[in-house]
Copies of this chain bind each other. A is one copy, B any other.
Amino acid sequence: MSLNYKKIMRSIKGASIPKPISGTLSGHAAGEPFDKLVYNEIKKQVPKNTFRQYEFLNDLYSKNPNVIGFEKRLALFNSPTVLFLLSRGKNATDKWSIENPFDEKQNDTADILVVKDNFYEIIDIKTRNISKSAQPPNIISAYKLAQVCAKMLDNKEFDNFTINYFEIDWQLEKNKLVCHDTHFACLFKAQPSDLYINWAASMQIQFHACNLPQNFNGTMQSWAKEYLKHFVAQAKKRADDMVKKFVKPFEKYIK
């Protein structure tokens, strides 16, 4: 890990931002300014290595102006797993040019990306209004994560990336949103079997970073295997549950 997260957490805790003009205070409206604070703090530590996901892609393709087209641009990634996590689709990648660079995209994997010595640190910022009790946020598609784990195992890539979550707990005070606390969690330090998959909500893994136990001590290789065991068992269970809940009770009506 190349970042001093304790230092970042110290700088953010207690920080405040003006209340956004839009009255709703939705997660998104409040999230963006806090996200920028974290980005700036990280950039202070590793200025040359800090990117937005789209910035990184624009940077990579700009430095290789003669590499054109989807397949060749993908080959610029030195890792199939990181490629899968960070690249855009075929159509968008084909159309990319210095005059037509990528812009931010809401469902990009990383809010912030720190790339150093061929190691990719993917950071996702989760902001949380602590005056409301809300269900845990969407973290990542359980299916996408299964595909990531399969790629790790296929390509024996166990030490070139990580995925970290940074939670900012804030509250409205007068006309400001004040950060009361921050939390940090590494996805690969969680027990795979602890990850809750909400199948009805686009198969999203959901958790609050502050509640994610960080007691997995195995290798990334064993994490990937454990996760796939969990995912397959949960998918089987969900398929069985669907038959129990949505098929059996209604069969008597359609005979």
Contact = CB atoms under 8 A, between A and B. Distances in A.
The secondary structure that dominates the A interface is helix
Contact of A246 (B22, B149, B235, B250): B235
Interface string A235-246: 110111011011
Contact of A22 (B24, B203, B229, B239): B24
A253 B153 contact: yes
Contacts of A251: 232
A89 interface: no
A146 interface: yes
Contacts of A193: none
Question: For the complex formed by this chain, how many copies does it contain in all?
Answer: 2
Contact of A253 (B23, B24, B225, B235): B225
A65 interface: no
A238 B246 CA distance: 11
Contacts of A243: 235-236, 239
A246 B146 contact: yes
B250 A146 contact: yes
Interface of A: 22-24, 143, 146, 149-150, 153, 199-203, 224-225, 228-229, 231-232, 235-236, 238-240, 242-243, 245-247, 249-251, 253-254
Given A22-B24, A149-B253, A200-B200, 16 more contacts: A22-B22, A143-B245, A143-B246, A146-B246, A150-B249, A150-B250, A199-B200, A200-B201, A200-B203, A224-B253, A228-B253, A231-B246, A232-B247, A235-B243, A239-B242, A242-B242
